[in-house]
Chains A and B, each alone.
Chain A
Amino acid sequence: MDLNYTPEEQAFQLEVRAFLQASYPADIQEKVAKGIALKKADYVTWQRILNDKGWLVPGWPKEHGGTGWTPVQKYIFEEECATANCLRLVPFGLVMLASVLLKFGTEQQRQQYFPDMLQSNVWWAQGYSEPNAGSDLASLQMRADNKGEHYLVNGTKTWTTHGHYADMIFVLVRTSQEDRKQKGISFLLIDMKANGVSVEPIITVDGMHAVNQVFFDDVKVPVENLVGEEGEGWSIAKYLLQHERTNIAQVPRSKKQIQRLKALASNEQCNGKPLLEDSSFRRKIAEIEVELMALEMTNLRVLSKLSAGEPPGVASSLLKVKGTEVQQAITALLMEAVAYYGFPYKKDVMLDGWQDEPIGPEEAVFLAPHYFDWRKTSIYGGSNEIQKNIMAKAVLGL
């Protein structure tokens, strides 16, 4: 075993660092560092810079625009991006749909969608959950009836992140009623501007608008927008759950957040001394650091296996549960660090930053909303209870 990066990996690390320093826009960096809401333009700007460099889609095969990086290089890239306060790329198109099209799509579909995805001309959203199909995703009811030339789509999708930005959405729909609910599900691409598509905002606990409910009322979708075979949707969904999830633990980001927490706690006062010197507070940070240390090593072990060509298997479930627990614990301590300054709620500041004198520490106003908002991470992407069910079944054979 050798934990150190090879000389080549170290050189790569420096190359990434230099690139980020030179090319990552300062205004976006500031927003991410402070927690100010990001706008669609911020994502598009950074995606285009990355694409010009050829680093937008490290997960893709080289012939389609990928980087050909090893899993370790991908991890280094992720680590450097977190350290530099890079925004987290929205994975729906660039990672999720792309890997589906690579595995299940036709060459024509790849030719049709990849260029606009790479150039950020088309914004993709994901349509999985429905009001009555959450953890039990396979019970989804949205229908697509095959009418020959087109599917007639009726139903609704919810928790659609950035649905109000989206040009296109990929959805799981029911194309037939079968004996098992997992059968008869298909994977379909729908134009958000099509007649009969409407988007309703959902305001989340932090008072912000990022997710939506999307309604489909007699929407006509060309049959060529089907990905894979009719009825193959559930296999595609499962494939997605097991692949492209190595970033799920968000270790680099949590390490960055720990740094941020320590900086904050060294500026806040407790009985005339920095809060960071308060033994009980310091101990609570340490509890998280220990967990994070284990998680980082677990994540690296998974990467090492991937490098050797083994499949990730159920490791992504473990990484998701532990990763979100760590992230959530950090958000709680950030909020605790500012004591009474967690109370003020300033939506205008969350959207645009402080225009006047901050109330308490500049970042304080973001921390309670962020803590509440981050509760979502143990709910989305397969709730942590579902992840534990998966591990119980697949690993322990229970």
Chain B
Amino acid sequence: MNLELSEEMIMLQDMLSKFLNKQYSFEQRQTLSRNGIGYSEDNWQQFADMGLLGVPFDEQYGGFGFGQMGLVVVMEAIGKGLIVEPYLASVVLAGQLIQQAGSEAQKHAILEPLIAGEFKLSFAYVERQSRYNLADVACQAEKQGAQFCINGNKSVVFNSETADKIIVSVRTSGETISQSGISLLLVDKDAAGLSTRHYETVDGLRASELSFNNVMVAEDALVGALGNAYEAIQTVIDSATAAVCAEGIGVIAQLREKTVEYLKTRKQFGQALSDFQVLQHRCVDMFMHEEQMRSLAYLAAIKVSDGEAVESRQSVSAAKVYLGDARTIVAEQAAQLHGGIGVTDELDVVHYVKRLTMLNSLFGDRDFHMQRFCEA
């Protein structure tokens, strides 16, 4: 047994922290988040140059083959810097879906430019009624000759505005809530009949509502076998869930550090706030949560890499439950201990709080994963 990061991973970590220190101050992040496309294409190209976009992909498609552990390292840094570039949407979700379900030809055609930073993807899987159930797919695709015709809606699709193509989960057969009969189709962002509403998210990212009105795509837009995409979707969402738990570590660590620092600096009643035992204990709770979160995120990464279904599901859900708990133990306390400035827009802590809170609503909240843990 060895629970240390490998040398390669430590190098990756160092590279990322250099990038964050040099080029990703909170002010820079806010400027990116609030203007134009919501992130920097220059940064994206740098990510490509640093090899970040190839981290989870096999070497035969131009990737590094670092797998889930590589994603842990990258995502923790993304959490640390509150990075707004579409890594989760394009690499972790959509890219991995291609690697998981795509044909050899698709993998070569898509992953190579994706890794080079020349091509971006996004994944549309949420619907009005679906909540966190990946099998609750009403958006339909009907085979018409050599084409599919898509009708329906997708919600809260992250970074589809700047994606070249969008992978859409569609129902090609079966009942609305059925694991069989779900397929994946690649749709051009400019496809006729596709209408979009883009918006900012509460945590400073970008997402969209998509509406498909007789959108036609060719047969070869199908990713994976017809009607058989559920397993692949589940696998990739699990990987992404484990990845955002790693992002959570980065966010939690920042909140803990910044809160401790603030308590040492802020004086009331003639002493530093850090002298009050009740406040010390809250910080210790944050610290313990951070360590436990790190343990569960690492465990989930290991289990996801091993690929054993039950253990993987269970450990991913355990980590996500813990991430949900971070809302009360870490996010709410960080805001509370900062007092009034803890609810102002100008303070960086507030934006870490927002991200940590919203992570609970991504890929299933605490209740959803507690239930899934019980059923695993």
Contacts and interface: CB of A to CB of B under 8 A. Distances in A.
B133 A271 contact: yes
A336 B365 contact: yes
Contacts of B353: 205, 372
B269 A136 contact: yes
Contact of A344 (B201, B278, B332): B201
Contacts of B365: 336, 339
B269 A203 contact: no
A328 B335 CA distance: 13
B156 interface: yes
Contacts of A378: 336
B370 interface: yes
B343 interface: yes
Contact of B350 (A132, A159, A205, A368): A205
By size class, the interface of chain A is 35 or more
Nearest to B354: A372
Nearest to A335: B361
A167 interface: no
A271 B131 contact: yes
A344 B357 CA distance: 14
Main secondary structure of the interface of B (DSSP, over half): mixed
B202 A369 contact: yes
B73 to A, nearest CB: 26
A394 interface: no
Given A368-B358, A379-B339, A134 B268 contact: yes
Contacts of A344: 156, 199-202, 207
B132 interface: yes
B346 interface: yes
Given A339-B132, A339-B361, A345 B200 contact: yes
Contacts of B350: 205, 372
Given A139-B268, A203-B345, A271 B136 contact: yes
Interface string B333-363: 0011001101111100010011001101110
Contact of A280 (B133, B205, B367): B367
A213 to B, nearest CB: 10
A345 B199 contact: yes
Most buried by B among A158, A360, A384: A360
Given A136-B268, A343-B358, A359 B340 contact: no
Contacts of A203: 344-346
A343 B202 contact: yes
A269 B343 CA distance: 32
A379 B340 contact: yes
B343 A373 contact: yes
Contacts of B371: 280
Nearest to B197: A359
B203 interface: yes
A271 B177 contact: yes
Nearest to A278: B367
Contacts of B345: 203-205, 207
Interface in A333-353: 335-336, 339-346
Contact of B336 (A132, A268, A332, A375): A375
Nearest to A389: B278
A252 B99 CA distance: 54
A224 interface: no
A281 interface: yes
Contacts of B346: 203
Contact of A270 (B131, B155, B205, B362): B131
B129 interface: yes
A322 to B, nearest CB: 16
Interface in B191-221: 197, 199-203, 205, 207, 209
Nearest to A361: B128
A129 interface: yes
Contacts of A341: 155-156
Contacts of B128: 360
Contacts of A9: none
B363 to A, nearest CB: 10
A345 B201 contact: yes
A21 B369 CA distance: 45
29 contacts: A132-B267, A134-B339, A135-B339, A203-B345, A204-B344, A205-B335, A205-B343, A268-B131, A271-B133, A272-B176, A275-B131, A278-B367, A280-B367, A280-B370, A280-B371, A281-B367, A336-B365, A339-B361, A340-B126, A340-B155, A343-B202, A344-B200, A344-B202, A344-B207, A368-B202, A372-B353, A380-B340, A384-B336, A385-B278
Closest 8 CB pairs of A and B: A136-B268, A269-B129, A203-B345, A340-B156, A343-B201, A368-B202, A280-B367, A345-B202
